[in-house]
Amino acid sequence: MNHGVILSGFLMFFACVVLHVFIWRVRLSMISSLILVAIFIFIPSAVLLSIIFVAGVFPGFRDVLPDPVVLVEVLVLHISLSLAYIANYPAVRAISPSLEVMLFVWSSPGGKMTQPEIEKKFSDTTLVNARVDDLMIYRLLIAREGRYELTGFGRLIILGFIGYRKMLGLPAGEG
């Protein structure tokens, strides 16, 4: 892989990150995994595959456009970076108790806290409510008559996890 491929792949990925951050700032909590896949996978793939198609159909453009093999290499690098980004996105968005503890300690006077001081900062309902809100935003849970229930897609995901855990020999609700 040459330097141009690496630079192009990283620049394309960086452009997608900038677009993602822009959308995040405009629509904050409404960004979903589907939008991430569109920004990082569908749109760049469509653009590069269109360029490859144009070069193949219109021979006059072959001299002006990059080699299709190079474009495929750029796309493979970009998709690899993008999949890693997408896979880590939920962890970044979520409230992480470990990260929260570190932020509390870091921002406390003198950078030190006792165990009881840390415990006072946490509310289990905050953590649970944040997860329920996320599940509702992603349309995996719905509220009906004061109770939460799984959507069809939520049930499908749970069945997949239960099947995977059974395949590993693990009970459905334990680690």
Model-level pTM? 0.62
For residues 101 and 82, state if they share a domain.
Answer: no
Q: Which two tokens stand for residue 24?
A: 């995040």
Of 67, 93, 119, the last residue of a domain is 93
Whole-angstrom CA distances from 79 to 10, 56, 89, 132 are: 10, 23, 15, 30
Whole-angstrom CA distances from 135 to 82, 148, 151, 154 are: 23, 10, 10, 9
> In sequence order, what are the beta bridge partners of 150?
141
Q: Is residue 130 part of a domain?
A: yes
Q: Are 93 and 134 in contact (CB under 8 A)?
A: yes
Alpha carbon distance 20, 171 (integer Å): 37
Residue-level pLDDT, tens digit, the chain, 175 residues: 589 899 999 999 999 999 988 887 777 555 567 788 899 999 999 999 999 888 888 888 877 888 888 999 999 999 999 999 888 776 666 666 666 777 777 778 887 777 788 778 776 666 677 778 878 888 888 888 888 888 888 888 888 877 767 776 667 655 4
For residues 36 and 86, state if they share a domain.
Answer: yes
| Residue span of the structural domain in which 57 resides | 3-93
Q: Which two tokens stand for residue 129?
A: 């409510």
3-class DSSP state for residue 144?
strand
